[in-house]
Structure 1
């Protein structure tokens, strides 16, 4: 909104389709102030949760974390800014629809979502982090061991695609994935209790999972043994190494079958985490019609919020049928050729899993 009260176009907002062009060419008109409701106090706990995907107590705590990072505004309260952003995450719809819900113009929603997403994403270093002390690593490994008896594991790694609008330009086709739509290929590591331990949200949809990992800080830390004897588990789209274990493509004996059953059940946490994450924030499953740079902030911000939801024991939101959220898509990632040289899989198959089989220990935990 400019000084004269007119609602003007913000270049960050949705790309120029027919509706946007129409906005640009029509004569400016005096912006009418709409009634702005106090949504925090208007709704009871159940209705508030359905609309914003969090309980009021959790939202109040999130606000205190980002309040120093929010921009000042005379017309919109810090709580309203946060709720506007959460409503956008919960709907994944046109920005103007979110504005209508709050009685603000589309340009205001653009600005608020962009800046609040950036503020939430800035909490990443404190809320999304790998275990770094001996005690934390041992605790993480014990949690994975309780899942399916897979040893020395502190995280499960995998990628998922987040739909975006074509970014345009000469490199636009780099963002088109094997399913034919534009996306970012997001890599993350999951804990046993479905929290984000690491996230990379900057690679176009055409990139292979292994390529993303090869260029990540996480690989550097694993190679220099920052996590000591501990490892991560992955699917067959990744290489076997001394710090990463993947399933066997074929099993020829009981030991190998036991190994595959254990690693598949351990790795499954990252798939479950993606399911919960995208169910809580439907914007991740629906095509985001905002700038790619801001999509990256939204992805990281929702990952931060997901971890906060886990810490505050938030319920998983109901599956809203009216949202028409598509199911989580599975990609047939090109399998990496097996490597029988020095790697953690060979080590575990030679010692740990034969002993586990001989002890007749069930993978089912009590």
Structure 2
């Protein structure tokens, strides 16, 4: 209902026909398609709507939902929001001042056109997008970059991201991101040590890895 209240007006059709599909039914058609992956004619038969209409509805709703991204996928902006995120991470493995865990994952796709297809073949041999995301301790995704082909390295995506520029401009001064060994170590991006030996290094390593591993759960939930 929250989603309907947010985008419902944009789904209303300006028509005098008696059988225009309501925004609520349009949204339900799209959500059922996302959830089941059923063929569109099956969804149409289920509610007595033509397949072409189902296709248009799914396209219309699918364009409206991503437009809400700025409302839901955003880094903490003020000191209170930053503090809340930092406390959440600290309560996990005692790593201070963390406002995000960063990682990349490969989203499998079919091969694009032959002239660019090999750009999307990743190191594991299949075609994909390499998607970078940042999450908080509640497993909310707070930043995402989903436009790079699978052959591109994680660090390249980060170096060319707006997020890196924001950290370089001290928009998150005094705060850290946690990443794996695929990322460069920066004064705002903490990565694992190569060969920890001292007690302090071992404690850092355990805290860094334990805190960062929340992303394994985030990607697992997302892909399921």
Q: CA deviation at 1:130?
A: 0.3
1:273 CA displacement: 1.4
2:178 & 2:196 partners in 1: Cα distance? 18
- Normalising by structure 2, we get a TM-score of 0.90
Once the two structures are superposed, the pairs formed by residues 219-230 of structure 1 within 5 Å of their partners are 219-230=164-175
8 A contact 2:101–2:177 mirrored in 1? yes
Structure 1 counterpart of 2:116: 171
SS in 1 for 2:77: coil
In structure 2, what is the equivalent of residue 61 of structure 1?
2
The 3 A distance-change label for structure 1 pair 160 and 102 is farther
Structure 1 pair 274–100 and aligned structure 2 pair: CA distance change class (3 A): farther
Aligned position for 1:191: 136
Larger Rg: 1
Using the size of structure 1 for normalisation, the TM-score is 0.57
Matches within 5 A, 1:255-274: 255-274=200-219
* Bigger shift: residues 108-117 or 181-190: 108-117
Contact (CA 8 Å) 2:133, 2:145: kept in 1 or not? yes
- Deviation, 1:253, is 2.3
Give the Cα separation in 2 of the matches to 1:62 and 1:197.
19
For residues 84 and 240 of structure 1, the distance between their equivalents in structure 2, rounded to whole angstroms, comes to: 46
- What residue number does 2:20 align with? 75
Q: Determine the C-alpha separation between the residues in 2 that align with 1:204 and 1:163.
A: 10
**1:75 alignment partner, SS class:** coil
Deviation at 1:111, TM superposition (A): 2.2
Q: Cα–Cα, structure 1 residues 273 and 115, in superposed 2: closer, same or farther, change >3 Å?
A: same
Between the two structures, name the one with larger relative contact order (CA 8 Å, sep ≥ 6): 1
Cα distance in structure 2, aligned partners of 1:90 and 1:161: 21
Secondary structure of the corresponding residue to residue 131 of structure 1: coil
Counterpart of 1:245 in structure 2 is: 190
Residue in structure 2 matching 1:137, options 60, 82, 87: 82
Report the RMSD for the aligned CA atoms in angstroms: 1.8
Q: Once the two structures are superposed, what CA deviation does each residue of 1:216-235 show, in whole Å capped at 9, x if it has no partner?
A: 11000011110111011011
**Paired residues of 2:100 and 2:136 also in contact (CA < 8 A):** yes
Distance 1:104 1:144, change over 3 A: same
In the TM superposition, residue 194 of structure 1 has moved relative to its aligned partner by: 0.4
| Contact kept in structure 1, 2:9 and 2:23, CA below 8 Å | no
User: Is 2:12–2:22's contact at 8 Å kept on the other side of the alignment?
Assistant: no
Contact 2:8 2:24 (C-alpha < 8 Å) held by counterparts: no
Distance 1:256 1:138 in 2: 25
What 5-or-longer segments of structure 2 have no aligned partner? none
Q: Does 2:184 align with 1:234?
A: no
Which digits, 9 at most, give the CA deviation of each residue in 1:277-321, with x for residues without a partner?
A: 222xxxxxxxxxxxxxxxxxxxxxxxxxxxxxxxxxxxxxxxxxx
5+ residue gaps, structure 1, are 1-59, 280-366
- 2:155–2:183: 8 Å Cα contact kept in structure 1? yes
Equivalent position to 2:34, from 78, 89, 109: 89
